[in-house]
């Protein structure tokens, strides 16, 4: 059976030029004694915005793996797929993020909900779940309410999973179920009920991405109550360990943290939890690498800086249009976006510092960073002009990409 490693880290490479720079970060971490499997992820939405094909992600990753001689596992994630979008990913992916968020809250058949409730008397009462902060107490009404909210989504996950297995063969894929792109977080008791339902559907998921409490905005730090996050994260780990045992789910089932890039304030919490419990983790990042490309071009000066400034000026004129698809995952204060003239007066290192995610740096601007995070379409439109600049400035861009992943993400998550 294709088994997802204990630790895995999803990287996005929108323009398919940074796989090697990304993989170098995993090599550096391996030299530190921590093995983390790289997973290259790109969603249907990103492919559509950029005009790329899923095969290109596989091809770029394969070249990087060969050139750097990466001896361990690596995966290609069909990110946030649904039944209607999965087919174009089938040939070149071994990891499938089955996104069922759209079905959450839509009613399943009443008879199915009742059958689920009848099948799971063990969910009702005060549960003996080792490791939770306070005992989970679930009433029959809770089970009914959660089943009514999530059962259709779970049934959808089953349909998509069986569709993938029919094409690829069971045991040849890694399945993730994601429920993060929805309004309300799932509590640990809800997660347990959802896992019971996924086991009933025979979805052999190896990782699950719930929506956690707090805001996971694109490209910036976590915003929320850290004490509550820690409790919830630890309880989720306990619930997963319990569900593996209780429902015969894959023994390596683990938590997945989506929009996981740049969430610096929760990394120590996650690291402590993993060290304490021995649990696994998948962290998914994507857009953070595209921003490092821009930072590299700004640092490079000349034509690179000129294009970075142009992209900002264009983004500023199209804020509404660029932000609309991401409205629920960005918080931009437009009053804090400098004018194009101001940015045009900045040096390359100044623009790089505004963008680079070092929150304590006096020039860092989280609003500029978020706007440019969702502006990769503009670079796609620039086409070969953008790609040629990436190639011409490969070293300085690659340095930003590797450092960002290794220093700001992997070390705090896995080493401390
Ligand atoms: Zn997600």
Alpha carbon of 178 to ligand 1 centroid (Å): 6
Ligand 1 centre to CA of 343 (Å) is: 32
- Characterize 229-244 residue by residue with b for buried, 16 or more Cβ atoms within 10 angstroms of its Cβ, and e for exposed: bbbbbbbbbbbbbbbb
- Going from the Cα of 389 to the center of ligand 1, the distance in angstroms, rounded, reads 30
Q: How many CB atoms lie within 10 A of CB 225?
A: 12
* Cα–Cα distance measured from residue 380 to residue 320, given in angstroms and rounded to the nearest whole number: 18
Distance 140 CA to ligand 1 centre (A): 30
* pLDDT number for residue 287: 85
Parallel, antiparallel, or unpaired for β 205-209 and 136-138?
Answer: unpaired
Taking the CA atoms of 346, 352, 353 and 357 in sequence, report the sign of the dihedral they define.
Answer: positive
The CA 122 to ligand 1 mean position distance, Å, reads: 30
**Distance of alpha carbon 256 from alpha carbon 211, whole angstroms:** 10
Which spans in 169-266 are helix H?
188-200, 226-247
Q: How far is the CA of 323 from the centre of ligand 1 (A)?
A: 17
Domain formed by 7-286, architecture:
Alpha-Beta Barrel (3.20)
**How many A from CA of 376 to the centre of ligand 1?**
18
CA–centroid distance, 286 to ligand 1, in Å, is: 10
Distance 288 CA to ligand 1 centre (A): 14
pLDDT of residue 181: 87
How far is ligand 1, taken at its centre, from the CA of residue 33, in Å? 28
Q: How much distance in Å is there from the Cα of 46 to the middle of ligand 1?
A: 13
| Cα 165 from Cα 159, distance rounded (Å) | 10
Per-residue pLDDT tens digits of the chain, which is 416 residues long:
999 999 999 999 999 999 999 999 999 999 999 999 999 999 998 999 899 999 999 999 999 999 999 999 999 999 999 999 999 999 999 999 999 999 999 999 999 999 999 999 999 999 989 999 999 999 999 999 999 999 999 999 999 999 999 999 999 999 999 999 888 999 999 999 999 999 999 999 999 999 999 999 999 999 999 999 999 999 999 999 999 999 999 999 999 999 999 999 999 999 999 999 999 999 999 889 999 999 999 999 999 999 999 999 999 999 999 999 888 889 999 999 999 999 999 999 999 999 999 999 999 999 999 999 999 999 999 999 999 999 999 999 999 999 999 999 999 999 99
The SS3 of residue 413 is helix
pTM over 0.95? The answer is yes
Query: 284: CA distance to ligand 1 center in Å?
Result: 8
Indicate if the alpha-carbon torsion angle 269, 272, 276, 280 is positive or negative.
Answer: positive
- The DSSP element (H or E) to which 256 belongs, if any, is strand 254-257
C-alpha of residue 299 to centroid of ligand 1, in Å: 31
Determine the distance separating the centroid of ligand 1 and the alpha carbon of 409, expressed in angstroms. 18
Angle at 225 between CA 6 and CA 124, to 5 degrees: 65
Q: According to the model, what pLDDT value does residue 327 have?
A: 86
Output the CA–CA distances (angstroms, integers) from residue 224 to 76, 329, 348, in the order listed.
Answer: 31, 13, 33
Q: What is the pLDDT of residue 268?
A: 98
Distance 340 CA to ligand 1 centre (A): 32
Distance of CA 210 from the midpoint of ligand 1 (Å): 9
Domain borders along the chain are: 7-286, 288-397
Cα dihedral 399→404→406→407 (10° resolution): 110
Distance from the Cα of residue 297 to its chain's centroid: 25
Q: How far is the CA of 388 from the centre of ligand 1 (A)?
A: 31
């Amino acid at each position: 059976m294709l088994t997802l490693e204990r630790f895995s880290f999803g990287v996005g490479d929108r323009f398919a030029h940074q796989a090697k720079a990304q993989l170098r970060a995993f090599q550096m971490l391996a030299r530190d004694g921590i093995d983390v499997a790289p997973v290259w992820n790109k969603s249907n939405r990103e492919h559509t915005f950029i005009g790329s094909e899923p095969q290109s992600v596989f091809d770029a990753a394969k070249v990087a793996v060969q050139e750097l001689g990466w001896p361990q596992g690596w995966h290609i994630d069909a990110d946030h797929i649904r039944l209607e979008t999965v087919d174009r990913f089938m040939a070149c992916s071994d990891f499938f993020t089955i996104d069922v968020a759209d079905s959450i809250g839509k009613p399943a058949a009443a008879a199915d909900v009742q059958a689920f409730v009848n099948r799971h008397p063990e969910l009702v009462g005060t549960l003996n779940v080792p490791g939770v902060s306070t005992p989970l107490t679930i009433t029959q009404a809770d089970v009914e309410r959660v089943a009514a909210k999530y059962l259709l989504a779970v049934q959808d996950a089953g349909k998509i999973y069986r569709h993938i297995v029919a094409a690829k063969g069971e045991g040849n894929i890694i399945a993730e179920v994601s429920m993060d792109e929805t309004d309300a977080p799932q509590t640990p008791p809800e997660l347990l009920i959802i896992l019971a339902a996924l086991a009933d559907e025979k979805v052999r998921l190896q990782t699950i991405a719930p929506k956690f409490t707090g805001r996971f905005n694109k490209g910036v730090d976590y915003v929320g109550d850290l004490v509550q996050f820690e409790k919830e994260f630890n309880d989720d780990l306990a619930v997963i360990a319990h569900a593996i045992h209780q429902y015969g789910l894959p023994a390596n089932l683990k938590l997945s943290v989506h929009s996981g890039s740049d969430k610096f304030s929760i990394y120590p919490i996650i690291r402590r939890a993993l060290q304490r419990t021995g649990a696994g983790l998948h962290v998914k990042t994507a857009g953070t690498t595209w921003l490092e490309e821009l930072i590299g071009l700004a640092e490079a000066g000349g034509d690179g800086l000129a294009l970075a400034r142009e992209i900002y000026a264009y983004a500023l004129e199209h804020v509404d249009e660029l932000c609309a698809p991401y409205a629920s995952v960005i918080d931009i204060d437009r009053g804090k976006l400098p004018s194009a003239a101001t940015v045009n007066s900045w040096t390359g290192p100044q623009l790089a510092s505004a963008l680079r995610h070092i929150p304590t740096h006096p020039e860092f601007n989280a609003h500029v960073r978020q706007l440019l995070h969702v502006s990769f379409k503009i670079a796609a439109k620039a086409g070969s002009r953008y790609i040629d600049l990436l190639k011409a400035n490969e070293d300085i861009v690659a340095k930003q990409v590797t450092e960002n992943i290794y220093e700001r993400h992997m070390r705090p998550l896995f080493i401390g």
